[in-house]
Amino acid sequence: MRTQLPLLVVIALSFNACAPHGLVPRGDYLGQTPPAPGADAALFAPGIVSTALYTRDLAMTPDGGEIYFGVVLGNFDYSTIMVTRRGDDGRWSAPEVAPWAANPDWKDLEPHVSPDGTRLFFMSDRPDPAAGETEPGDADIWVMERAGRGWTEPRNLGAPICSDSAEYFPSTTRDGTLYFTREDAETRSGGIYRSRRLPDGGYAEPERLGEAVNSTPNVFNAFVDPDERFLVVPTFGRDDSLGRTDYYVCFPDGEGGWEGPHNLGPRVNSPGGLEYSASLSPDGRVLFFMATRPRSAPFGDEGMTARSLHQLQAEPGVSNPAIWWIDAGVIDAAR
């Protein structure tokens, strides 16, 4: 472990270097102005959240005062969850590795804060001490409860949510209904499931959603609106896709199910790919999504140079995915 810890230190230092004096701007959304209705998608908090690192999975507390996001190194060799907090003076802290996601021996990603702010869910392959495990296993959904300004120790959600298959990308509604992905252990195909919250605080047996949501064998990481007005579903392999994986949206069919899917279009999707993690701001105004946006390389008449290669690599959202944001009106426009 001693030889691995510096990699997480590298992550923290790269964010600190982007934030002078260890602080970032004041104000909502890390001092960023939300995109106007009809405007193109833009990088969210470039140099603070969106850096040259592989960045995904943005979540916010209901008051907007804490922002969590995932970072990946290598071919998912290391993955962790970062956090930045707004202080009492209105200033934001430089992003740091969340203390409960700092162990390099396991993979943590996909933070999600419940709409009421009382629970923080995430995906992890860490061993479950309650089950007597000592080594990382498949991906499961874990949860923490709010305790003051922090969180309780993570605990595995257990059955019937977690199983011998991989479960990940939790997303919840105001009434506690949990949406998540379950991946078949043999075929590695993914599907979106839903589990209603029971009066005793547990969960009902998960149900696999219908073909409007699970429209191909490769559907992952669905995000549900807190009031179940829509479901954003990253999907691979559809004929109407603009790239490899695109963001689609499903709407309620009036009978307890979903209709669609509808492609969110070129303002969100692109031929580039790596589009498989979306979320909504607590006020419902903004759609956040992970994406790459390859562009024309800055090569002159001399062709590729060491400087131009480093310049391209250092740009957020070009070589590695970053977090983008766009006015949430793009969702209703897809109907």
pLDDT at residue 3, rounded to an integer: 38
Residues 6+ away with beta carbon under 8 Å from 74: none
pLDDT at residue 296, rounded to an integer: 66
Q: What is the mean pLDDT of the chain?
A: 92
Stretches where the chain sits below pLDDT 50 are 1-7, 9-10, 12-13, 17-22
Report the CATH number that the domain containing residue 295 is assigned in CATH.
Answer: 2.120.10.30
Give Cα 272 to chain centroid, integer Å: 18
CB atoms closer than 10 angstroms to residue 9: 11
Determine if the pTM surpasses 0.85.
yes
Cα–Cα dist 68/60, whole Å: 6
pLDDT at residue 298, rounded to an integer: 67
Domain of 277, in residue numbers = 5-332
Residues 6+ away with beta carbon under 8 Å from 140: 123, 124, 125, 128, 156, 157, 162, 166, 167, 168
Cα–Cα dist 48/105, whole Å: 26
Beta-bridged to residue 279, according to DSSP, are 288
pLDDT at residue 188, rounded to an integer: 78
Q: How many domains does the chain have?
A: 1
